[in-house]
Amino acid sequence: MNSRPRNSLKLISEKFGVSPTTVSRVLSGQAQKYRISPETEKAIKDFAAKENFTPNPIAKGLRLKKTHTIGLIIPDIANPFFAGIASQVVNVARTHGYSIVLCDSEENPALEKQSIELLWARQVDGMILCPVGQTPDYLERYAREQRPLVLVDRVFPGLGLPYVSADNFTGAKNATAHLLDNGHRRIACLQGMVGTAPSEARVGGYTAALKERGVPFDPRLVVGDSFGEQSGYLDTKLLIRATPDITAIFAMSNLLALGALRALREENRSVPGDISVIAFDDQPYLAHLSPPLTTVAQPHLEMGAAAVKLLLDEMRAPSSATKSGLYLPTSLVIRQSVRKLD
């Protein structure tokens, strides 16, 4: 009873006194093309529907060298930012007939590399990678080998791989401008992992806004080296000791903002009374924080969807020369964590 003898083309073909080929043709919608008799076609189709039979994709995969499978590597699926991306990737992929094999690199480059190899070995047709953001040496090879691979978020332009990212530069620039508009001049910047594209772009936007308004750039105000809560907490603590004249903090991630809030609370600085805060990346709960946090919203869902579409293109036209990068616009969500100075 444990060995349900799974149906197969062969079994079905015997049942109807035809060849497996015929069954295959019917089931792949080629009955018309091969002018298979309508009766046979109907009989087979009905049977398949009734038994809810689908040709074994493993066998198909072996034969066709296509698994209809996409690998997805995420640094931390428990992080809502990545979870949001993943949700769209899964859904869009499904509507195109692809399944997702999910790996979690745990923010670990070695595990990331291992996961990539695993997925290629598993014969995925393509791959979407949110790199942890460091030493992309091995990625270069995949670019050269023309593998269908698209990068998301912590992208590496110039690698020759297509990518999708939020327009971090403009997002950060607008957020900084918003602070400036509200009279802030001493604005600290809690940056993320140094050397990653998002962090660099955000700091770039911050600097650009400052420059545009003629506000002097103070390097002591740019601190931090990770996107995590810990880092936000610690660096904020240090910051308010080292440069007590700051009136605003631009935290370049969600978690960083949470950490900053915790530090500020401990140090009895009110937000936005004493210090204004802007976060990066919107999440539902930010509206429920005290105070509701102003933030730069990233188009998660669009990012995930775009990644799949780019990948599908890539898979269709393997050697397209134009590896286009895509920057999706952010939007400033204004809540109540920025105070107007006069």
Closest CA to 96 of 69, 123, 117, 76: 69
Task: Determine whether 302 is exposed, middle or buried from the number of CB atoms within 10 Å of its CB (0-12, 13-18, 19+).
Answer: middle
Token pair in block for residue 277:
């805060």
In degrees rounded to 5, what are phi and psi of residue 291? -80, 165
How far the first Cα of the chain sits from its last, in Å, is 79
CB-based contacts of 78-82 (< 8 A; 24+ apart in sequence): 79/255, 80/254, 80/283, 81/254, 81/281, 81/283, 81/298, 81/300, 82/130, 82/153
> How far from 147 is each of 137, 191, 325, CA to CA, in Å?
15, 32, 16
Residue 42 or 66 with smaller CB distance to its own copies: 66
Does residue 122 bind its own copies (CB under 8 A)? yes
| Interface contacts to DNA, rule CB under 7 A | 6, 8-10, 17-22, 24-25, 27-28, 34-37, 40, 55-56, 59-60, 62-65
CB 160 within 8 A of CB 139: no
Tokens 């919203």 belong to which residue?
A: 297
Token pair in block for residue 303:
């990012």
Question: From the list its own copies, DNA, none, which binds 9 (C-beta under 5 to 8 Å, kind-based)?
Answer: DNA
Does residue 95 bind its own copies (CB under 8 A)? no
Does residue 261 bind its own copies (CB under 8 A)? yes
Does residue 90 bind its own copies (CB under 8 A)? yes
Does residue 249 bind its own copies (CB under 8 A)? no
- Burial readout 215-227 (b: 16 or more C-beta within 10 A, e: otherwise): beebeebbbbebb
Of 30-38, 243-251, 282-290, 320-328, the window that binds its own copies (rule: CB under 8 A) is 282-290
Kindly report the number of other CB atoms within 10 A of residue 44's CB atom.
25
CB 249 within 8 A of CB 188: yes
Residue 8 or 91 with smaller CB distance to DNA: 8
Question: 12, 18, 27, 77: which one contacts its own copies (CB under 8 A)?
Answer: 77
Minimum CB distance to DNA, residue 46 (Å) = 15
Question: 1, 17, 49, 273: which one contacts its own copies (CB under 8 A)?
Answer: 1
Binding mask of the shown chain, residues 2 to 21, with x at each position contacting its own copies by CB under 8 A = x-x-----------------
Minimum CB distance to its own copies, residue 287 (Å) = 8
Question: From the list DNA, its own copies, none, which binds 18 (C-beta under 5 to 8 Å, kind-based)?
Answer: DNA
Question: From the list its own copies, DNA, none, which binds 49 (C-beta under 5 to 8 Å, kind-based)?
Answer: none
Question: From the list its own copies, DNA, none, which binds 1 (C-beta under 5 to 8 Å, kind-based)?
Answer: its own copies
Token pair in block for residue 313:
């293109």
Binding mask of the shown chain, residues 148 to 187, with x at each position contacting its own copies by CB under 8 A = ----------------------------------------
Interface with its own copies (CB under 8 A): 1-2, 4, 52, 54, 56-59, 61-62, 67, 69, 72, 76-80, 83-84, 86-87, 90-91, 94, 99-104, 106, 117-118, 121-123, 145-146, 229, 258, 261-262, 283-285, 287-291, 318-319
